[in-house]
Amino acid sequence: MYDIIIIGGGPAGLTAALYALRANKSVLVIEKAAFGGQITFSPKVENIPGLPALSGNDFAAALVDQVLELGAELEPAEVTGLKTDGGVKTVVTDDGDYSAKAVIIATGARHRRLGVPGEEELIGSGISFCAVCDGAFYQGKRVGVVGGGNSALQEALLLSDLAEKVMVIQNLDFLTGEKKLCDALSERKNVEVILGHTVAGFMGEGSLSGVVIENASGEKREVPLEGLFVAIGLLPQNEIFSDIIELDPAGYAKSGENCLTAAEGIFVAGDCRTKNVRQVTTAAADGAVAALAACAYIDGR
């Protein structure tokens, strides 16, 4: 029996562990992939206060070392279910069941992939999902943005202030983003919109040098690029908790800045919850809030 089980070992989950451990609670962090979360894909991170520049891997490793030193237990396993029985919460995994007085769900949201061979290998080596995080690395270079919704158009607008050329690649014959964003994009002279095309392949070995795009007729052409930003939506990892906590239509856990859910003793933190900004700093903030709320719940405050 642990005081708190944290599902998810990204910045939100590990920050939650840090705060809970400092409150003298026993903590188990369960993560199905790499401890550190999606930030481990970023070769360089420059927007963490007090840390001018470091790799995502180095940041994640520092977080892991910090919570281990304080006594956290880390379990590499995939969570397959969550049960509640009064004050006891049972987390079901593919490697056994674990019980706790409180649970923090910090499973994050996974960026939708294109599903093109070679994509995973090029993440962090030319393929990115966040212009705020990685746009500065492409100052004066040619980049592409895949997608035509609000997120993609906002990424393209931000990149147009940095890159020499921005090419927006949309599978439909029209952009689906707001008219205001479409109009703003049309005024940028270094932005080209390519409609009715999908990314069919990648060019370059070890790092991205371009993409192969294809239209509905099957005609293909090569487009030289040094960076590609994929902005086709997010997939929150909350499906297995849908019978315990309330989700919004997009699958995010319904919760405000207090990180509470409607289920007693179950809290959410980070990108998996409803929020406007999903950055490493906001994930860490959620982790602190959720941990303190969980501690207060356990202590009967």
| Domain boundary, last residue among 195, 213, 230 | 230
Q: What angle do CA 174, 177, 182 make, to 5 degrees?
A: 80
Judged against a pLDDT cut of 80, whether residue 301 lies above it is answered with no
Model confidence at 87, in pLDDT bands (50, 70, 90)? confident
Which domain, by its residues, includes 59?
A: 2-110+234-298
| CA 163 to each of CA 22, 137, 189, 224, 228: distance values in angstroms, whole numbers, following the listed order | 44, 9, 12, 14, 12
Considering the domain architecture, whether residues 193 and 258 belong to the same structural domain is answered as no
Judged against a pLDDT cut of 70, whether residue 43 lies above it is answered with no
CATH of the domain at 70: 3.50.50.60
Considering the domain architecture, whether residues 280 and 187 belong to the same structural domain is answered as no
Structure tokens, 212: 């192969």
Per-residue pLDDT tens digits for 58-69:
999 999 999 999
| Domain boundary, last residue among 180, 209, 230 | 230
Model confidence at 52, in pLDDT bands (50, 70, 90)? confident
**pTM of this prediction?**
0.77
Q: What is the pLDDT of residue 39?
A: 83
Indicate which residue of 58, 94, 97, 133 is catalytic: 133
Q: Tell me if residue 95 is catalytic.
A: no
Q: Tell me if residue 286 is catalytic.
A: no
Considering the domain architecture, whether residues 209 and 272 belong to the same structural domain is answered as no
User: What is d(CA 114, CA 152) in angstroms, rounded to the nearest whole number?
Assistant: 14
Considering the domain architecture, whether residues 210 and 250 belong to the same structural domain is answered as no
What is the DSSP-derived secondary structure letter of residue 243?
Answer: T
| Domain boundary, last residue among 230, 256, 277 | 230
Q: Other CB atoms closer than 10 Å to residue 239's CB: what's the count?
A: 11
Considering the domain architecture, whether residues 242 and 220 belong to the same structural domain is answered as no
Considering the domain architecture, whether residues 191 and 106 belong to the same structural domain is answered as no
Please count the structural domains in the chain: 2
Per-residue pLDDT tens digits for 251-264:
999 999 999 999 99
Indicate which residue of 85, 95, 134, 286 is catalytic: 134
Considering the domain architecture, whether residues 31 and 177 belong to the same structural domain is answered as no
Considering the domain architecture, whether residues 49 and 74 belong to the same structural domain is answered as yes
Considering the domain architecture, whether residues 89 and 23 belong to the same structural domain is answered as yes
What is the DSSP-derived secondary structure letter of residue 86?
Answer: T
Q: Other CB atoms closer than 10 Å to residue 286's CB: what's the count?
A: 30
Model confidence at 185, in pLDDT bands (50, 70, 90)? very high
Indicate which residue of 58, 95, 130, 243 is catalytic: 130
Average pLDDT, the chain: 94
Q: What angle do CA 28, 30, 33 make, to 5 degrees?
A: 150
Per-residue pLDDT tens digits for 232-244:
988 898 999 999 9
- Mean pLDDT of all residues in 128-132: 87
What is the DSSP-derived secondary structure letter of residue 112?
Answer: P
Considering the domain architecture, whether residues 90 and 6 belong to the same structural domain is answered as yes
Considering the domain architecture, whether residues 266 and 218 belong to the same structural domain is answered as no
Model confidence at 198, in pLDDT bands (50, 70, 90)? very high
Considering the domain architecture, whether residues 77 and 129 belong to the same structural domain is answered as no
Model confidence at 130, in pLDDT bands (50, 70, 90)? confident
Q: Tell me if residue 271 is catalytic.
A: no
